[in-house]
Chains A and B, each alone.
Chain A
Amino acid sequence: MAQDVAAHVTQAELRRAGTDHAAARHRRRRRNELLRHLALAAITFALVAPFYYVFLASLKNATEIFSYPPKLLPFPPYFGNYKKLLFDTGFLRWMFNTLFVAGSVTTLKIFLDSMAGYALAKVDMTGKKVVFMAMLILLMVPIGALVVPLWALMSSFGLIDTYAALILPPLANPLGAILMRQFILGLPKDLENAARLDGLSEFGIYWRIVLPLIKPGLVVLAVIIFTDQFMSFIWPLIATTSDELQVLTVGVAALRSHGGANYGLWSASAVMSLIPVGVFFFVLQRQFLARSLAGALKQ
């Protein structure tokens, strides 16, 4: 009987100790979560604050920008900077040129890179490894080293100051083909074999089987190429001379050097420049949900 009571007490104590322990663990978890959220909030602030500052500056006139203390919510907002940017500068033309060049390069490169990637990953051909190594080495050559020979080449073709000068050179960048090769290497050989038995040609396999399966990879590549082209500065600066062919980066830089210190206008150009990239990314990120390889193979 005494033993039973002792056992009973011990059980009760253990239960209580267990409850205390669980409560302590819960408190510790909540504290850690709070710290994590505080750290995330600080990082978010550090990332968003500069953009918000630029956005505010774009909605202020020259006097308000330097007023102290700064206004966190400019009311009423001043749209003069945007009006000036859109109607008194070549901004819309620059935007069109940029979208046209970035869009063309992205579309063409998606096809060329995926085809090259397929060939490098799946087609048996002599010298494949040498070609791949050459592409890897080329990836390490900085743009500065390529600018002069590239300009000479374009000039000899009479393409300087044309859209072709802006579109053709980026197509030779091997990064996309290397990325696509890695994506396509992951596809099982049996899928190609099944397609071959079903009567598909090599191009048919690429077009009807491989391309739909690497859609997420294509989206990643498209985002990389588009943003890279959108922000490209050195080559467009060198390859074009006329105002009609200037792209956004070159035009905005010219705005700074020729238009005096107009911070409101600069801020408005920065905000407007971000819109197409944001829209492009927003549209394409939904494609990340494309049907993946799940279900193709035994698991």
Chain B
Amino acid sequence: MNATPAIELIEVGKDYGAVPVLTGVNLTIADGEFIALLGPSGCGKSTLLKLIAGLEELSEGEIYVGGRLANYLKPSDRDVAMVFQNYALYPHMTVRENIGFPLKMAGLGKDEIRQKVEAAANFLQLGAQLDRFPDELSGGQRQRVALGRAIVRQPLAFLMDEPLSNLDALLRVEMRTELVRLHKRVGRTTVYVTHDQVEAMTMANRIVLMHKGVIQQVGTPNEVYSHPANTFVATFVGSPPMNLFAGRVESVGGCRKFVGAFNVPLEGIGIADGAATLGIRPEQVQIAPPETPQTLAATVELVERVGADSFVVSQIAEGVTITARVDAARSITEGDRVAVRLPPAELRLFDVAGLAVPREGA
């Protein structure tokens, strides 16, 4: 592990004429870290990856790769390797030629190329496919060839642009595990672009959540999930997303309360009176028998069974629903009268700008 960050972005910006794509991106990626750039389509995550790779020109800011200013370096001189969303294998070359091509371009000798290619192929279980062409391989094998072409260079960092997005669900899960295993064995910095939150949550050490060209939050999967920085993160991460309720914070008789479609006392959240949004994750919402004290009366509108769990959507006020995640074994059906309990410690509050209000002492 090196003390110099593998990649450092300082005030990075990118625009296409009058259209800004990225604004004020600051990010430090440690050596050996697995970072996921997560966000909806068009948020600028792939552009950011291409800026790091040198495939797009910066509009402003500085990019350091391995401590070197990379703004004016050619893509091949940045010591990064990229795995593309579409594998981008050379169709007129065999697997052996595809994997060995970057080494050939780097001027390595034939014997050295052969050794490295065979080592990478064996590592990726592609030994038997070395003399085949890409169109003779399955999707998973092509994916491995693309990985082989990246790892054979032994770069400082791997840049991966949604490499699993077009694989079928089963293969995606398999490749996800393989990528994590690969990262652990190779130990190189990996920047992984995805719009799939499950991929980001399961693979990355840290998640960079982006929206409209701006970083919304950087944190571990747990931080991003449990302590979203704003309402966008709260709704983008998590399936189903966090329950959000618009209302006001008011002080009533020395007690602070959230007043909206329902009223709940607020404990340990320092926020001035005024408009606010209250949030709670579905798995923190508790469903109790009707008439339970200190609960909200609700009527079950919909029960979605998703295997071990069920998502229970209940109406707690006119036009206001709340989703709870409960054990599928519980016998709750549509139309049931229930009580909904919101544990005060699990409530999250967002100010009028949608930014999270930290809990006191946090």
Chain A residues with a Cβ under 8 A of chain B: 188, 190-191, 193-200, 209, 212-213, 291-299
Query: Given contacts A199-B102, A199-B106, A298-B166, is CB(A190)–CB(B85) below 8 Å?
Result: yes
Enumerate chain B residues within 8 angstroms of A294, measured Cβ to Cβ.
91, 134-135
B91–A295 touching, CB < 8 Å: yes
Question: What are the 10 A-B residue pairs with the smallest beta carbon separation, nearest first?
Answer: A295-B135, A295-B134, A199-B76, A199-B105, A190-B88, A294-B135, A298-B166, A296-B91, A194-B88, A297-B86
A298–B142 touching, CB < 8 Å: yes
Q: At the interface, yes or no: B303 with Cβ under 8 Å from chain A? A: no
Interchain residue pairs with CB less than 8 A apart (24) = A190-B84, A190-B86, A190-B88, A191-B90, A193-B88, A196-B75, A197-B82, A198-B101, A199-B105, A200-B76, A213-B91, A291-B92, A292-B91, A294-B91, A294-B135, A295-B89, A295-B134, A295-B135, A295-B137, A296-B88, A296-B90, A297-B88, A298-B139, A298-B166
Query: Given contacts A191-B90, A199-B106, is CB(A296)–CB(B76) below 8 Å?
Result: no
Interchain CB contact (< 8 A) of A191 among B53, B88, B139, B149: B88
A298–B80 touching, CB < 8 Å: no
Q: At the interface, yes or no: B12 with Cβ under 8 Å from chain A? A: no
State the CA gap A263–B149 with chains docked (Å).
66
Min C-beta distance of A187 to chain B, whole Å: 10
Q: At the interface, yes or no: B133 with Cβ under 8 Å from chain A? A: yes
Q: At the interface, yes or no: B136 with Cβ under 8 Å from chain A? A: yes
Q: At the interface, yes or no: B55 with Cβ under 8 Å from chain A? A: yes
Residue in A191, A294, A296 whose Cβ sees the most chain B Cβ within 10 Å: A296
Other than the known A199-B105, A213-B92, what 6 A-B pairs have Cβ atoms closer than 8 Å? A195-B90, A197-B75, A197-B76, A197-B102, A296-B134, A298-B87
Enumerate chain A residues within 8 angstroms of B54, measured Cβ to Cβ.
196
State the CA gap A294–B88 with chains docked (Å).
11
Q: At the interface, yes or no: B9 with Cβ under 8 Å from chain A? A: no
A295–B76 touching, CB < 8 Å: no
Nearest A residue to B146 via CB reads: A194
B76–A196 touching, CB < 8 Å: yes
Min C-beta distance of B75 to chain A, whole Å: 5
A193–B89 touching, CB < 8 Å: no
Min C-beta distance of A59 to chain B, whole Å: 47
State the CA gap A195–B106 with chains docked (Å).
12
Min C-beta distance of B273 to chain A, whole Å: 53
Query: Given contacts A196-B76, A291-B92, A291-B133, is CB(A297)–CB(B87) below 8 Å?
Result: yes
Min C-beta distance of A37 to chain B, whole Å: 36
Min C-beta distance of B223 to chain A, whole Å: 32
Q: At the interface, yes or no: B266 with Cβ under 8 Å from chain A? A: no
Interchain CB contact (< 8 A) of A291 among B81, B91, B105, B166: B91
Min C-beta distance of B175 to chain A, whole Å: 12
B76–A188 touching, CB < 8 Å: no
Enumerate chain A residues within 8 angstroms of B82, measured Cβ to Cβ.
193-194, 197
Enumerate chain B residues within 8 angstroms of A297, measured Cβ to Cβ.
86-88
Min C-beta distance of B299 to chain A, whole Å: 46
State the CA gap A198–B50 with chains docked (Å).
14
Nearest A residue to B56 via CB reads: A193
A194–B92 touching, CB < 8 Å: no
State the CA gap A193–B52 with chains docked (Å).
13
A188–B88 touching, CB < 8 Å: yes
Enumerate chain B residues within 8 angstroms of A198, measured Cβ to Cβ.
76, 101-102, 105, 149
Enumerate chain B residues within 8 angstroms of A293, measured Cβ to Cβ.
91
State the CA gap A190–B75 with chains docked (Å).
13
State the CA gap A294–B90 with chains docked (Å).
10
Enumerate chain A residues within 8 angstroms of B166, measured Cβ to Cβ.
298
